[in-house]
Structure 1
Amino acid sequence: MLHGILLIALFACASFYIGEARLLKEISFSPMIIGIILGMLYANSLRNNLPDTWVPGIQFCSKKILRLGIILYGFRLTFQDVVNVGVSGIVIDAIIVATTILGGIWIGRLLKMDRDTALLTSVGSGICGAAAVLGAESTIRTQPYKTAVAVATVVIFGTISMFFYPIAYRSGWLDLSPQEMGIYSGATLHEVAHAVGAGNAMGTEISNVAIIVKMIRVMLLVPVLLILGFWVARRNSAENTSAEKGKVNIPWFAVGFLAVIGFNSFDLLPAAFVDAINYFDTFLLTMAMAALGAETSIDKFKKAGAKPFILAFCLDLWLIGGGYILAKHLAPLWL
């Protein structure tokens, strides 16, 4: 496993080095985005030559390192920042989660998709990407390949949106204030890593709002999984099956993130020490992004068929378009 971790750390170091280029600095191209690009290039070129013993290390970076990076990201924020986001972030998050999941289930029926695949894809798009898919899978207890397909759709369209948002914002296509853009990004980007990456590419003010709104959205995974558990119990009863009740997968890293924000709100650590933590945290998140890219291989998607990707594309259009309308017209009501 260590070799895989060192490989991803090497990608992160290269990302920091490349990120020092003047052009990339001018367009706020963060090391995290460079990291996922390097990872994707590797995944679709040399990945087949990777020893199997290295794979656990890459997966460790895309999961455990990411969670640690998000927890430490709390040192950039305080609860005063959370108050500044206000009611609008919570309301928009709730609307996005509910409409994306319910809309995805409906579109899945129109496409005559497998029910579980449609549900997993919708939950992943609506809440927090792969973590939400895995949480839902542990509740509905479906076949592993359906989970893999759902995760693949989230990674693809979430990554596309992560690149699109900074370009659209800096090009003036999105007529949003920094506060509104932060709400828009946090409420609509798939993965936590995507929100962090896109937010950093657009500036600290947007990033801080985006990550808070995104983490509020992550916390909504808990009630969604509880509802899913109840739905599965009813479905099993109706179908006269004896499937065990799924275990709820609570995103504890989100709780840790909030705990760090609380600690940081007391301003107990020297500013220089906090700056060092933030620099280290950026490196961890860059590792996570590189690992995420390294798992984005085109070959994995060929066996899945088109329907899950059509569904994910429709949901992504809703997140981009519907989320923009909510951020533009609903967010100002509480800002």
Structure 2
Amino acid sequence: MSLAPLSLPQLRNSHWLDSAKRLVPGLLLCAAIAWLASTLAALPWFGSHGLSALTLAIVIGMLVGNTVYGWVQAPAAAGVGLSKQQLLRLGIILYGLRLTFQDIAAVGASGVLIDALMLSSTFVLAQWLGQRWLGLDARTSMLVGAGSAICGAAAVLATAPVAKARADDVAVAIATVVVFGTVGTFLYPVLY
């Protein structure tokens, strides 16, 4: 057995393999939840009750997170972390790229103006209510406002570095946005 030091290409390959081994269990768990949610959403009963793949993925994720995730957290944490941070952001970017200038033109200037007013008024209202009525600090209310106005937890995660938010600010904002978003996900189809 040779005790010679590893060459740079060997170190790179070894590091890459170690990283892949750490990420695969969590990525597989997230992929399994996404697959199950998509499969269930394709069934007529779920579609007729307004339950999309996103809604089902939230429910499945909550069930897994509160039941079996504790048993698989150690091997899955790195892959789940990658999924909820980088892959979620990438998915939002790719989804946004589907929007074309023709789509924007089809909505018209009034549609764009209404969207801009809704987004900005939701953000400002969350800031004002959060700081004046609920006593939240500026960072937390900014994160809650971004999450409520834009697209939920992913917007909170994307805004956190800009707001120089602490981990507890991010946790409060994500919990707030996810709880109210989840309630709305189930309430809106019923109201419709």
Q: Give the TM-score normalised by structure 2.
A: 0.72
Shift of 1:72: 4.7
Q: Is residue 124 of structure 2 the alignment partner of residue 102 of structure 1?
A: yes
Once the two structures are superposed, the pairs formed by residues 74-223 of structure 1 within 5 Å of their partners are: 78-107=100-129, 108-169=131-192
- Between structure 1 and structure 2, the one with the greater Rg is 2
Shift of 1:150: 1.0
Shift of 1:45: 1.6
Find 1:9's aligned residue among 31, 49, 52: 31
Change (3 A) 1:63 1:144: closer
Change (3 A) 1:164 1:59: farther
Matched to 1:95, the amino acid is L
Tell me the alpha carbon deviations over residues 146-197 of structure 1, each in whole angstroms, 9 at most, x when there is no partner: 122112111221222223333333xxxxxxxxxxxxxxxxxxxxxxxxxxxx
Tell me the alpha carbon deviations over residues 75-105 of structure 1, each in whole angstroms, 9 at most, x when there is no partner: 8664322211112332122222332232223
Q: Is residue 62 of structure 2 the alignment partner of residue 40 of structure 1?
A: yes
Matched to 1:124, the amino acid is G
Change (3 A) 1:140 1:32: closer
Once the two structures are superposed, the pairs formed by residues 294-333 of structure 1 within 5 Å of their partners are: none
- 8 A Cα contact 2:140 2:173, kept in partner: yes
Q: Give the TM-score normalised by structure 1.
A: 0.44
Percentage of identical aligned residues: 38
Shift of 1:59: 2.6
Once the two structures are superposed, the pairs formed by residues 201-280 of structure 1 within 5 Å of their partners are: none
Find 1:30's aligned residue among 13, 36, 52: 52
Give the secondary structure class of the aligned counterpart of 1:50: helix
Q: How many residues align?
A: 169
How far apart are the structure 1 equivalents of 2:75 and 2:30? 14
Shift of 1:73: 4.1
Structure 1 unaligned blocks of 5 or more: 170-335
Matched to 2:29, the amino acid is L
Matched to 1:65, the amino acid is L
- 8 A Cα contact 1:109 1:115, kept in partner: no
Partner in structure 1 of residue 7 of structure 2: none
Shift of 1:145: 0.9
Greater RCO, 1 or 2 (C-alpha within 8 Å, sep 6+):
1
How far apart are the structure 2 equivalents of 1:75 and 1:141? 27
Moved more, 59-68 or 143-152: 59-68
Give the secondary structure class of the aligned counterpart of 2:67: coil
How far apart are the structure 1 equivalents of 2:137 and 2:97? 42
Pick the structure with more helix per residue: 2
Matched to 1:93, the amino acid is D
How far apart are the structure 2 equivalents of 1:60 and 1:79? 31
Shift of 1:5: 0.8
Find 1:64's aligned residue among 76, 80, 86: 86
Structure 2 unaligned blocks of 5 or more: 1-22
How far apart are the structure 2 equivalents of 1:121 and 1:74? 21
